[in-house]
Amino acid sequence: MAVRMYRHLDYERWELMSYKLKMKLAPWCFIAPFLIVFILFAVYPVIYSVVLSFGTYKGGTVRLSGIKNYAFLLSDKAFFQSVFNTFKIGIIQVPIMVFLAIVLASFLNSKLVKGKGFFRMVIFIPVLIDAVSYSVIFSLLFNDQGFINSLVDSLGITPVSWYTTPGLATMMIVIAQTWKWTGYNTIIILSGLQNIPSELYEAAAIDGANRIQQFFSITIPLLKNMIILVMVTSVNGAVQMFTEPNIITHGGPTGSTTTAMLYLYNMGFKNFNFGIACAGSYVVVAIVVILTLIQMRAGKEK
């Protein structure tokens, strides 16, 4: 009898332990497919690229070479030129885009505007178009015999060659990027505008503040978080710009629109210097982190 009771208790203890083990393992079983895919296609490539940035890839094997790749980048004028081009485009394009986004968001937030849904859709449509398609369209628009030059010629102005003048080629990229992403940032800023209580504007109007004073004293300060978010994402996007300069200008003329990402692409997939390309990508990551910290510090946001 005692043996039977002992076996029964032992069986219950085993069942309890088994149940607890199942309860612990159950969540992991559900997330295991995601973890496997994440490790294979995200974690492993990152680790491999870090190792590759300190070596050279030949014959399917990686040979470590220390900081040789990073030293090459720091001595390569073409890399510094690509970084300069990236900053040049970003410094011009980001403020213009943020300003237009604020103006359009204020327009969409106005009580006097009818058919807001339609205007929101029109403004947001460029975001839905893939980068390759709209880059091809812009390259055709600014062609020597394209729509823009035809329009300029019809106004009695001498057409210009957008692809052979560095300044004009840069402006093509700026225009394309602004057209693409202004609607996206407009929606973000609009969400911030809709969270500002209307009572603040009514109180300011009673105190004698006009529309401009209300805009700079109420709207801009209360939109600070949204503006910082838009600035951070826009700057990070500008640093990672690749498709537009690759398709519209092919990095020309004379490398004036070769961005950092286009430089790394050429280095990795045209020159097959994968180690240098990986090292350059982490230099770009460091630049993005530094820029983000600077912007957050300037906005005094954690």
Largest CA distance in the chain: 111
Q: Residues with Cβ < 8 Å from 70, sequence gap 6 or more?
A: 53, 279, 283
Decide if 264 contacts 281 (C-beta within 8 A): yes
Average predicted confidence (pLDDT) for the chain: 85
> What's at 275, amino acid-wise?
G
Q: Which of 148, 202, 201 is nearest to 172 (CA)?
A: 148
pLDDT in tens, 127-156: 999 889 999 999 889 988 888 888 888 888
The helix or strand, by DSSP H or E, that contains position 29, with its residue range, turns out to be: helix 2-38
92 versus 252: the higher-pLDDT residue is 92
The alpha carbon of residue 293 and the mean position of all alpha carbons in its chain are separated, in whole angstroms, by 16
The three-class DSSP label of residue 42 is helix
Confidence of residue 2 (pLDDT cuts 50, 70, 90): very low
Q: Which residue has the tokens 């990070």?
A: 236
Identity of residue 79? F
**Using CA atoms, how far apart are residues 261 and 252, in angstroms rounded to an integer?**
14
DSSP E strands, the chain:
55-58, 61-64
Q: How much is the pLDDT for 16?
A: 58
pLDDT value, residue 6 = 47
Element holding 190 (H helix, E strand)? helix 166-193
3 pLDDT above the threshold of 50: no
Contacts of residue 222, defined as CB under 8 A and 6 or more positions apart, other chains included, come to: 192, 196, 200
| Torsion (CA) 284, 286, 287, 288 in degrees, nearest 10 | 90
C-alpha 24: how far from chain center: 39
Residue type, 295: Q
**pLDDT tens digit string along 245-296?**
999 998 988 888 999 999 999 998 888 888 999 999 999 888 888 887 887 7
CA 120 – CA 22 distance, rounded (Å): 50
Tell me the average pLDDT across 84-113. Answer: 90
- C-alpha neighbours within 13 Å on the C-beta side of residue 130: 3
Mean pLDDT across 214-241 = 86
51-63 tens-digit pLDDT: 888 988 777 777 8
Local structure of 156: helix, strand or coil: coil
Q: Which residue bears the tokens 């070769």?
A: 258
DSSP conformation class of 63 = E
Question: 45: cis peptide before it, omega within 30°?
Answer: no
Percent with pLDDT over 70 in the chain: 91
| Eight-class DSSP state of 249 | I
Confidence band of 195 (pLDDT split at 50, 70, 90): confident
What band does 38 get if pLDDT is binned at 50, 70 and 90?
very high
